[in-house]
């Protein structure tokens, strides 16, 4: 929709605009659908559109699917290290602000958990990890055996 309304804009601009307007779009879209066909909207989408409660819970450790994660501060006091995270995400890579042909590729990101928050949507909760991310240009390298070395 944003692309159709802004055909001359770059992919980078479209991506930024999408990120800036998505929450309000979701909320208005869900509430408009509720007025027409309320039974087609799941309870989870209704709660997401309403947004989380204002009270946010904070933790130094969190268990998800049998895996325990710690904040860096808690790791510093422990013999086990569980504050490192990695994820693979599709990213848009641009060479300059004028680049009209961005490349989309999977990229690995590495970080350390600094904060763990839990958002409460009344019927379910969502953990959020606030991470310090490594600079992929200077802080990550792969050795000759394929082992990833990450400089935090």
Reported as a single tens digit per residue, the pLDDT across 117-131 is 999 999 999 999 999
Sign of the alpha-carbon torsion through 133, 137, 138, 141? positive
Q: What's the average model confidence in pLDDT over 139-145?
A: 82
pLDDT by residue (tens digit) across 44-99?
999 999 999 999 999 999 999 999 999 999 999 988 888 989 999 988 887 777 77
Query: Mean pLDDT across the chain, nearest whole number?
Result: 88
Question: Residue 126: what pLDDT?
Answer: 96
Dist CA 38 CA 31 (whole Å): 9
Percentage, residues of the chain above pLDDT 70 = 99
Q: What does the pLDDT read at residue 5?
A: 85
Query: What are 7's two structure tokens?
Result: 């055909």
Predicted confidence at residue 132, as pLDDT, reads 92
What pLDDT, on a 0 to 100 scale, did the predictor assign at position 57?
Answer: 95
Q: How confident is the model at residue 27 (pLDDT cuts 50, 70, 90)?
A: very high
Contacts of 12 (CB under 8 A, 6+ apart): 92, 94, 97, 99, 102
């Amino acid at each position: 929709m944003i692309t159709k309304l802004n055909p001359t804009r770059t992919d980078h601009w479209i991506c930024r605009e999408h990120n800036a307007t998505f929450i309000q779009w979701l909320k208005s879209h869900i509430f408009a659908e509720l007025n027409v066909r309320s039974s087609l909207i799941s309870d989870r989408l209704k709660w997401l559109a309403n947004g989380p409660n204002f009270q946010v819970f904070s933790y130094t450790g969190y268990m998800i699917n049998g895996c325990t994660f710690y904040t860096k501060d808690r790791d510093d006091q422990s013999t086990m290290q569980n504050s490192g995270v990695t994820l693979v995400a599709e990213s848009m890579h641009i060479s300059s602000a004028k680049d009209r042909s961005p490349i989309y590729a999977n990229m690995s990101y590495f970080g350390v958990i600094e904060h763990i928050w839990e958002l409460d949507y009344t019927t379910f909760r969502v953990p959020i990890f606030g991470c310090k991310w490594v600079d992929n240009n200077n802080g990550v390298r792969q050795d000759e055996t394929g082992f990833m070395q990450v400089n935090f």
